Amino acid sequence: MTNEPSGNYLVSSIIGSDGKLTLYEAVRTGGVGAHGLPAPPGTDPLFSQGAVVVSPAKRFVANVNVRLLWPIGRPVSSGGEFPNSLVINKAGNRVCAVNGGKVNGVSCYHFDYLFGLTPIKNSIRSLELNQTTPATGPPNTPSQILFSQDEKKLIVSVKAGYLAVWDINADGSLSKTFSKVAGGALPFSMNHIPGKNALFTSDPGAGYNIFNLDQSSGKSAATASSFPIPGAKAPCWSVYSKETKNFYVLDPGASAITEVSLTSSLDSTIVKQYDVTPDGPIDSDVATVGGKDFIFALAANVTGLSVYAVNGAGQGSVHQRLDLVGSAKAAKLPINRVNVQGMATFIGR
Instruction: Please state the domain extents for the chain.
Output: 9-330
Contact 39, 90 (CB under 8 A): no
Q: Which residue in 269, 137, 145, 286 sits closest to 210, CA to CA?
A: 269
Query: Which percentage of the chain shows pLDDT scores above 90?
Result: 85
Interatomic CA distance for residues 208 and 220, integer angstroms:
23
- Apex CA 147: angle with CA 142 and CA 153, to 5°? 95
Give the tens place of pLDDT for each residue, 14-25.
999 999 999 999
> What's residue 275's pLDDT?
99
Query: Residue 318: is its pLDDT beyond 90?
Result: yes
Which tens digit of pLDDT belongs to each residue from 157-187?
A: 999 999 999 999 999 999 999 999 999 999 9
pLDDT band at residue 30, thresholds of 50, 70 and 90? Answer: confident
Rounded to 5 degrees, φ, ψ at 286 are: -110, 135
* Strand (E) or helix (H) holding 325: helix 325-330
What torsion do the CA atoms of 231, 320, 271, 48 make, to the nearest 10 degrees?
A: 60
User: Is the previous residue joined to 134 through a cis bond, with omega within 30 degrees of 0?
Assistant: yes
- Is residue 218 scored above 60 in pLDDT? no
Residue 160 near residue 135 (C-beta atoms within 8 A): no
Percent above pLDDT 70 for the chain: 96
Query: Is the per-residue pLDDT at 255 higher than 90?
Result: yes
Q: Cα–Cα distance between 48 and 95 in angstroms, integer?
A: 17
pLDDT of residue 290: 96
Mean pLDDT of 131-151: 97
Q: What is the pLDDT of residue 219?
A: 60
Which CATH superfamily groups domain 9-330?
A: YVTN repeat-like/Quinoprotein amine dehydrogenase (2.130.10.10)
State the pTM of this model: 0.96
Going by C-alpha positions, the residue among 231, 241, 316, 289 that lies closest to residue 14 is 289
Q: What are phi and psi of 326, to 5 degrees?
A: -60, -45
Residues 191-214 have a mean pLDDT of: 98
Residue 71 pLDDT grade (very low, low, confident, very high; cuts 50, 70, 90) = low
| pLDDT above 90 (res 115) | no
Q: Which residues contact 342 (CB under 8 A, 6 or more apart)?
A: 1, 3, 50, 51, 52, 63, 64, 283, 298
Average pLDDT over residues 135-158: 98
- The pLDDT value recorded for residue 74 is 67
Torsion sign, CA atoms 171, 173, 155, 44: positive
Indicate the Cα dihedral angle 126, 188, 145, 19, nearest 10°: 160
Residue 117's alpha-carbon distances to 21, 122, 156, 168, 290, in angstroms, are 31, 15, 21, 18, 34
Over residues 143-166, the mean pLDDT reads 98
- Determine the Cα angle at 224 with ends 141 and 128, to 5°: 30
What's the pLDDT at 113? 82
State yes or no: pLDDT of 221 exceeds 80: no
Phi, psi of 328 (to 5 degrees): -65, -40
- Of 99, 108, 52, residue with least CA distance to 80: 99
Number of residues that make up the chain: 349
Can you give the pLDDT at residue 67?
A: 74
**CA nearest to 9, candidates 236, 327, 285:** 327
Average pLDDT estimate for 103-131: 94
- Among 154-163, 183-192, 339-348, name the one with the lowest average pLDDT: 339-348
| DSSP for residue 178 | -
Which stretch, 31-45, 83-97, 104-118, has highest mean pLDDT? 83-97
Per-residue pLDDT, 70? 62
pLDDT higher than 60, residue 72: no
Q: pLDDT band for position 276 (50/70/90)? A: very high
Do 235 and 258 contact (CB within 8 A), yes or no? yes
> Measured between alpha carbons, how far is 226 from 167 in angstroms, rounded to an integer?
25
Please name which of 147, 222, 154 lies closest in space to residue 184, comparing C-alpha atoms: 222
- Average of pLDDT values for 60-86? 79
Q: What is the pLDDT of residue 216?
A: 65
Give the angle subtended at the CA of 241 by the CAs of 236 and 246, to the nearest 5°. Answer: 75
